[in-house]
């Protein structure tokens, strides 16, 4: 297993010039050994969207990603285009290509950063998750089947509150800390941490069992009321599935100060 120092110096992707990157083993997902976990491309797409934030005058408000198929490890290309310019709101179209095909298309909304005085009737959002220090360290089970480097067991530290891969349940909750860099030499931004953690929802909360069923997400929709504080992202999820072969995961995103956003995933469900 990689040491903490090796993980901290590693990255999800290596720049290859221009819009091209190489996804490393730190991006590997649980469904295919040669394909990425959805959180890795989500973090990279958030990074690309943030390149249009006008030196901090804007921030990522939302990002909706559609997965056309697996994002394979190895060379990828990420491109973006401003489809709606503006100083208050900006809309960015993003595309991630893998293996010569479009693998993910996304639409991000950026919003201006402001300080708006609100009335006293607006209720503050208070912390509701079990504190990080009182949550259980994950060291085995389906998070760690073997020594192969992967996003969910190497790139992240996981502290489970409820649910997880072994628990067949509609609900689940955990804290996630992305331990590696997204790309070398860059500080991981709060929005990138939120995007990376948001895709874990259907792995925490699943009313059908791993190994017996597939419940792979076809999209990832991220909404950020504000940017998270600190480096830990709390994920509180519920998944429902239907006999027609689909499912829906709805996730609350938390930090130490309380809920800061939400995410959703539409699922392809079938027996293995």
Of the candidates 88, 223, 89, 249, which has an alpha carbon nearest to the alpha carbon of residue 170? 249
Q: Residue 135 pLDDT > 80, yes or no? A: yes
Residues 66, 266: Cα–Cα separation, whole Å: 10
Sorted by sequence, the CB contacts under 8 Å of residue 80 that are 6+ apart come out as: 48, 49, 51, 52, 92, 93, 94, 95
The residue ranking higher by pLDDT, 45 or 140, is 45
Beta bridge partners of 233: 176
Answer for the pair 199, 178: CB distance below 8 angstroms, yes or no.
no
Q: How far apart are CA 259 and CA 254, in angstroms?
A: 4
Q: Which domains does the chain have, with CATH numbers?
A: 4-114+129-271 (2.40.160.210)
CA gap 23, 78 in Å, rounded? 12
Within 8 A by CB and 6+ apart from 76, the residues are: 13, 20, 21, 22, 23, 41, 44, 96, 97, 98, 103
pLDDT for residue 109 is more than 60: yes
How large is the average pLDDT for residues 239-250? Answer: 98
Residue 262's pLDDT is 98
Distance CA 248, CA 218 (A): 10
Residues 127-153: what's their mean pLDDT?
Answer: 78
Torsion of CA 105, 172, 216, 262, to 10 degrees: -20
Mean pLDDT, the chain, whole residue set: 93
For residue 136, the model assigns a pLDDT of: 81
pLDDT at 146 (0 to 100): 59
Q: Rounded CA gap, 104 and 66, in Å?
A: 6
Q: Residue 143 pLDDT more than 60?
A: no
Q: Distance between CA atoms of 108 and 60, rounded to whole angstroms?
A: 7
Q: Give mean pLDDT, residues 170-192.
A: 97
Q: What tens digit of pLDDT does each residue of 47-105 get?
A: 999 999 999 999 999 999 999 999 999 999 999 999 999 999 999 999 999 888 999 99
Rounded Cα–Cα distance for residues 252 and 249 (Å)? 10
The pLDDT, as a whole number, for residue 60 is 98
**138 falls in which pLDDT band (50, 70, 90)?**
confident
In this structure, the number of other CB atoms found within 10 A of the CB of residue 220 comes to: 28
Rounded average pLDDT over 140-165: 78
Helix axes 190-198 and 39-50, enclosed angle (nearest 10): 150
- Of the pLDDT bands very low, low, confident and very high (cuts 50, 70, 90), residue 164 is confident
| Among 1-15, 79-93, 191-205, the least confident range | 1-15
**Percent of the chain whose predicted confidence (pLDDT) is above 90:** 80
Sheet strands (E) in 50-169:
58-67, 74-84, 89-98, 101-112, 136-137, 156-162
The per-residue pLDDT for 140 is 56
- Return d(Cα 142, Cα 256) in angstroms, integer: 27
- Euclidean distance between the first and final Cα of the chain, in Å? 29
């Amino acid at each position: 297993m990689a040491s903490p120092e090796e993980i901290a110096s590693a990255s999800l992707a290596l720049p290859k010039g221009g819009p091209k990157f190489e996804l490393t083993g730190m991006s590997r997902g649980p469904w295919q050994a040669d394909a990425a976990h959805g959180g890795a491309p989500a973090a990279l797409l958030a990074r690309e969207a943030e390149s249009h934030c006008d030196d901090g005058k804007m921030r990522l408000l939302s990002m909706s990603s559609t997965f056309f198929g697996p994002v394979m490890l190895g060379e990828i290309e990420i491109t973006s285009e401003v489809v709606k310019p503006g100083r208050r709101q900006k809309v960015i179209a993003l595309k991630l290509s893998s293996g010569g095909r479009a693998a993910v298309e996304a639409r991000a909304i950026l919003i201006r950063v402001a300080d708006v005085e609100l009335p006293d009737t607006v209720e503050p959002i208070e912390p509701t998750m079990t504190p990080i220090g009182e949550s259980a360290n994950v060291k085995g089970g389906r998070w760690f089947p073997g020594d192969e480097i992967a996003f969910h067991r190497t790139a992240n530290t996981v502290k489970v509150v409820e649910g997880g891969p072994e628990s067949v349940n509609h609900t689940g909750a955990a804290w996630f800390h992305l331990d590696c860099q997204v790309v070398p030499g860059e500080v991981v931004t709060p929005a990138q941490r939120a995007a990376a953690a948001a895709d874990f929802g259907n792995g925490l909360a699943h009313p059908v069992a791993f190994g017996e069923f597939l419940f792979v997400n076809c999209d990832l929709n991220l909404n950020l009321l504000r940017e998270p504080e600190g480096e830990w992202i709390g994920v509180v999820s519920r998944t429902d599935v239907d006999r027609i072969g689909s499912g829906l995961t709805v996730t609350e995103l938390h930090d130490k100060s309380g809920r800061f956003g939400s995410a959703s995933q539409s699922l392809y469900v079938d027996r293995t």
